[in-house]
């Protein structure tokens, strides 16, 4: 019988950044067990933090799942304790711009400002240096890719769109996630809506029951067989290797 070995995934923050230039940052390490032979799914939540984010964190905590929260920079000071909690509980914090501007309409220097301000605010509040960019509306062009590469950010969109922002209906959100659930899927949700928080109470335990490991997008992509590069766009996990590319600092 084939022996299945669970691996310890060592998560380290990326380089801290000043403006659009990288500088070294002290790394902290937390261990987490992920089995690369079992299916993984990444839930992502845009447009928070909000008054509903803690409810989602409660559901994830109950099952030991992790998710990625794509934060609007100018909302962080409204919910700093929620952001600190998400970081402390091992969730990924990603950049979703400062005020949800359409980045494709901006000049490179203004794109840099949107991302840098949000990165700095996340780091100020909880000490986490984000490695992932979720662009507003999922819109990406060469300017955005170039700025993201300079800032050592991976661009992540999604393979499953719940349309929760449109339906604002828990059942519709649950059904959309279950229809699209697959190994390597990245699911787009929004923690801005109470209906989405309600949906998570039903769908997260069901995903666990179906055998999915709920992982962050960086955890998911770290098992890609091909190199994951800053400035590139990813919509789902790729063909998998058996060891994570994230390693402990030397």
Residues 155 and 133: beta-carbon distance below 8 Å: yes
40-78: pLDDT as tens digits: 999 999 999 999 999 999 999 999 999 999 999 999 999
In DSSP terms, 203 is beta-bridged to none
Asked if omega into 61 is within 30° of 0 (cis), the reply is no
Q: Report the DSSP pairing between strands 7-11 and 30-34.
A: antiparallel
Choose, from 96, 150, 164, 190, the residue flagged as catalytic: 190
* C-alpha radius of gyration, the chain, whole number: 17
CATH number corresponding to 38-234? 3.20.20.370
Look up the pTM and report it.
Answer: 0.87
Instruction: For tokens 């449109």, name the residue.
Output: 166
What percentage of the chain carries pLDDT values higher than 90?
Answer: 81
Confidence bin at 246 (pLDDT 50/70/90): low
Instruction: Domain ranges for the chain, please list them.
Output: 38-234
Choose, from 35, 46, 152, 164, the residue flagged as catalytic: 46
**Please, what is the angle between helix 53-63 and helix 194-209, to 10°?**
10
Three-state SS string across 35-78, please? CCCCCEEEEEEEEECCCCHHHHHHHHHHHCCCCEEEECHHHHHH
pLDDT attached to residue 10: 32
Query: How far apart are alpha carbons 151 and 226 in whole angstroms?
Result: 21
Which stretch of DSSP H or E encloses residue 55?
Answer: helix 53-63
Report, as an integer, the average pLDDT of 13-33: 43
Report, as an integer, the average pLDDT of 28-38: 76
165-194: pLDDT as tens digits: 999 999 999 999 999 999 999 999 999 999
Confidence check: pLDDT of 6 > 90: no
Confidence bin at 151 (pLDDT 50/70/90): very high
Query: How far apart are alpha carbons 233 and 74 in whole angstroms?
Result: 24
Residues 181 and 210: beta-carbon distance below 8 Å: yes
Residues 200 and 56: beta-carbon distance below 8 Å: yes
92-142: pLDDT as tens digits: 999 999 999 999 999 999 999 999 999 999 999 999 999 999 999 999 999
pLDDT attached to residue 76: 98
Report, as an integer, the average pLDDT of 145-160: 98
The H-assigned helical ranges of 95-250 are 108-126, 142-150, 164-167, 170-180, 194-209, 217-222
pLDDT attached to residue 20: 52
Query: How far apart are alpha carbons 125 and 244 in whole angstroms?
Result: 28
In DSSP terms, 233 is beta-bridged to 155
Please say if 46 is a catalytic residue: yes
What are the respective helix, strand and coil percentages of the chain, to the nearest 5?
A: 40, 20, 40
């Amino acid at each position: 019988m084939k022996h299945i070995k669970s691996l310890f995934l060592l998560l380290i923050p990326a380089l801290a950044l000043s403006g659009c230039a990288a500088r070294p940052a002290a790394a902290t390490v937390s261990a987490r067990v992920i089995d690369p032979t079992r299916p993984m799914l990444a839930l992502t939540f845009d447009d928070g933090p909000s008054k509903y984010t803690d409810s989602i964190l409660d559901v994830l905590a109950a099952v030991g799942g992790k998710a990625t929260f794509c934060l609007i920079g100018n909302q962080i000071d409204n919910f700093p304790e929620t952001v600190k909690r998400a970081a402390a509980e091992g969730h990924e914090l990603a950049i979703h711009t400062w005020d949800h501007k359409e980045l494709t309409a901006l000049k490179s220097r203004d794109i840099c400002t949107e991302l840098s301000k949000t990165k700095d605010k996340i780091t100020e509040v909880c000490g986490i240096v984000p490695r992932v960019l979720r662009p507003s509306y999922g819109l990406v062009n060469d300017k955005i890719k170039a700025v993201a590469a300079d800032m050592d950010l991976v661009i992540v969109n999604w393979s499953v769109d719940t349309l929760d922002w449109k339906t604002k209906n828990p059942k519709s959100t649950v059904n959309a996630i279950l229809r699209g659930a697959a190994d390597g899927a990245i699911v787009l949700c929004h923690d801005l809506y109470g209906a989405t928080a309600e949906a998570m109470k039903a769908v997260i335990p069901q995903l666990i029951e179906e055998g999915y490991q709920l992982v962050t997008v960086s955890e998911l992509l770290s098992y890609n067989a091909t190199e994951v590069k800053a400035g590139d766009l990813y919509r789902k996990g790729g063909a998998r290797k058996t060891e994570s590319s994230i390693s402990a600092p030397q």
